[in-house]
Amino acid sequence: MTPFRKLTSAETAALEALGNSAEDWSKVLVSEDFKPFQLLQSHLEGDVEIAAEARIVRSRVANYRIGTGSLVEGVTALECRRRSAFGNGVGVATMNECGGRTVKIFDRLSAQVAYVMAVYRHRPQTIAALEKMVDAYAEERSSEIGEVGSDCRIVGARFIREVRIGNGVEIDGASILENATLCDGARVGVDVKAYDLIAAEGSVIDNGSIVERCFVGESCRLDKGFTAAESLFFANSHCENGEAASIFAGPYTVSHHKSSLLIAGMFSFFNAGSGSNQSNHLFKSGAVHQSVHLRGCKFASSAYIMSPALEGAFTMVMGHHSYHHDTSAFPYSYLIEKEGRTHLMPGANLTSFGAVRDIEKWPARDRRSVKRDVISFDEYNPYITGAMLQAVDILHSLQEQDPDAPVFTHNKTLIRSAALQRGLKLYNKAIVAALGAMLSRGGSDPRYDGDGQWLDLGGQYITRRETEAILAAVDRGELTTTEAVDNRFRVFAVHYDDYAHSWAKQVYAALLGHTPTVDEIDEAISAGHNAHASMRRTTDADRDRDCSLDMAVSYGLDCTSEEERREDYYSVRGLK
């Protein structure tokens, strides 16, 4: 730790000659190599520490430590007026506006711990234990002195009150920041107003955004006047222009349009089209309803969901839906509105190149360095494959009940007979591909038993069995810090392929009626490879249609020949 000392009388005189003043110069501590020119036309109040090469210019600073090489310039007030936990321990009413799923945020919060705190309210002992851990951490982080880390640049801001600022942070023109922690590498821009905030490593809040009681996770970006309250945003989420209230935004939640409104819901790997509205407007007993859109869901332009509702993973939602559907057993589907009713097209999204592109782009766009959130990117996994197996059972059951029915009803949705038949074919092919892929990875170590139901826990695929084991360890007091809890989730992730292999082998055994031989496993892997290749031919054809000359309408506006028009189209689309 850098040694600090009091100012000499000569230094005090020099500082005052440079237009500086202090409430009490004896409370100002500086580094051994301090030079008076490090301060210019500034006023210091209370306890202030100034590290080597730190500068304070035309600013008021009260009760703060300024780290090595940091610049504070043109700041109306950088002050710590009372003992503060700097946003740690603040309760955020995520998912449900009435607060029944409140998550206490802190600067080491992971998506997995947040998910448990929000979703597992049926385990009050677990929630109480986790909240106790957060409270202890918040108390440990509390202080009457604010901190600015090393190599920070804080310029043109108005009021910064009770904010702990990590290393390499940039604050440029913010209006007000209050009761917050900005972790290493975070950036806050012009006209931002933020209260009760945790901004994780590498996050960006910019361009007039207004944030109140929120956690903004690692490498997330809130920009262009986005407003958010009582919300959690996890790794690599990017929201602009629109509004969020009481949402749990899992990794890669994206919303770019001014007209988007997301209220009281859970999202992850999500994309909101223009005019998207996931709202909680069914007011009878208050704002008590919520919706969950599982991993990879997309809203088309002007899509509307009235809570409560639940969609399966990778569902494309089009139109207005107000009948409170549950399609969680039908991943990769289309949910469309026809004549005011919700129609389900099971598995239809398996033929879309868009879904393939999404799955491939997410790991390539991972901007994180700390990687506190555990994220599973695998296309073929037990969680979604298990849902497809369930979907096949449901579709067969519907068909058996009335083989000649033109339309079937399931959980407030309508499924046309042709869509049901197509869904069965698509799901069966995808199941073959998934089992083959999982059997080709990992091994047969009996320590890693993947049997049973799998969950998507804030972006991590994990067995229900292991999740419950972790939570039971919390209940017994074996895990006493959130860091220890996170470590258990990480250990599972290290051996994910082995658990997935185990699950696939047991599912394959159930389909065969006996334990598969080595040859049978090889056959399943080969069949999976062929099924995957067949599916890719379908999605590639979908991509080719999107890139065909039929889509060149409006290109080559001033061209005089078809050849020139093609050249313009191929050049702009990057197809050459």
Amino acid at 51: A
DSSP state of 47: E
Phi and psi at 468, nearest 5°, equal -65, -30
Q: Is residue 316 part of a domain?
A: yes
Look at residue 420 and tell me if it is in a domain: no
Task: Give a yes or no: residue 542 inside a domain.
Answer: no
- Report if residue 347 sits inside a domain: yes
| pLDDT tens, position by position, 108-121 | 999 999 999 999 99
Residue 444 covered by a domain: no
User: Does 488 map to a domain?
Assistant: no
- The pLDDT of residue 259 is 85
Which among 100, 136, 139 is positioned nearest to 117, based on CA atoms? 100
Q: State which residues form the domain around 271.
A: 2-79+142-354
Amino acid at the residue 561 = S
DSSP state of 273: P
Do 72 and 78 touch, CB atoms closer than 8 A?
Answer: yes
Q: How far apart are CA 181 and CA 472, in angstroms?
A: 31
pTM for the structure as a whole:
0.95
Q: Which of 1-5, 191-195, 228-232 has the lowest mean pLDDT?
A: 1-5
Give the model's confidence band at 314: pLDDT under 50 very low, under 70 low, under 90 confident, else very high.
Answer: very high
Cβ atoms 160, 179 nearer than 8 A: no
- The pLDDT tens digits of the residues spanning 413-429 come to 999 999 999 999 999 99
Tally the domains of the chain: 1
Distances in Å between the Cα of 328 and the Cα atoms of 241, 331, 383 are 29, 7, 11
Residue 228 is assigned to a structural domain of this protein: yes
User: For residues 158 and 27, what is the distance between their CA atoms, to the nearest angstrom?
Assistant: 24
pLDDT-derived band at 62 (thresholds 50, 70, 90) equals very high
Residue 563: its pLDDT value, please?
A: 86
* In-domain check, residue 511: no
Across 277-294, average pLDDT: 80
**What count of other Cβ atoms lies within 10 Å of the Cβ of residue 542?**
16
Single out the residue of 173, 141, 136, 168 nearest to residue 155, CA to CA. Answer: 173
> What is the C-alpha separation between 68 and 235, in angstroms, rounded?
29
